[in-house]
Amino acid sequence: MCGIAGIVGNRVTEIDVRLARMSRAILHRGPDDEGQSIWPSNGRVPQTAFAHRRLSIIDLSEAGHQPMSTSDGRFTITYNGEIYNYRVLRRELQTQGVRFTSQSDTEVLLQLYALHGAACLKLLRGMFAFAIRNNETGDIFIARDHLGIKPLYYYHTEDLFIFASELRALLESELVPRRLSQSGLTAYLQTGSVTGPGTMVAGVRSLQPGHYARIRGAGGELKVTSGERCSARALPVGRHRFERHCGVDESGNR
């Protein structure tokens, strides 16, 4: 078990302090190592910060430290989970000329995304929740495993996107209003649980099993596009448009 967290938004002040609080909130998920990466806004892409708490399972060396970047610096990942078929995928990537610097499944996932984009999800067998930043465009890609074994929660407005492995990390950022969800409370009192994507916190949602989302920022506003490979419909939500695609690649093509 590891823990991940991140913040995207130009209007966030003291982003390093907020990220540190989020990371401490999920310390129990990964006591072996911690890491943070922060990218300031350059006027073209939004300010972004990733945090990771590591429980070392595969490749116990420092080579498995996260957030992890590709050798060319184009992509950076923060990842929680285990890819069961990572050795097979690693060998296939090596036949395509990919060179690895660690023995971790994290690096395999990162290199798969660098080559295939969202289509890499079809190749994965395992449990996972992760976020990858395209450091050239500032775009963020998040995804959750097909059975929803690994948790991933998020909150967003037109100029903020924040995610984490647990609700408590979102609240510790002090960017998420501490308001109880009436529908979440009703569901809990009726059934003893809250069905996703709803949660007990108003405005916070869980990324559904087998789903992914892209976060793109331009002119201070963020556009969140989510989808899954097995459906094709569009749902307008407020000022955002959540689109579901059927088998898309990194560019969004079918």
- Give catalytic residues, as residue numbers: 2
**Bridge partner residues of 211 (DSSP):** 228
DSSP secondary structure string, 134-157? Answer: ETTT--EEEEE-TT--S--EEEEE
Report the 10 Å Cβ neighbour count for 168: 13
d(CA 77, CA 141): 9
Closest CA to 247 of 112, 113, 143, 119: 119
Residue at 243: amino acid letter: E
The first and second tokens of residue 201, run together, are 């916190």
d(CA 91, CA 123): 13
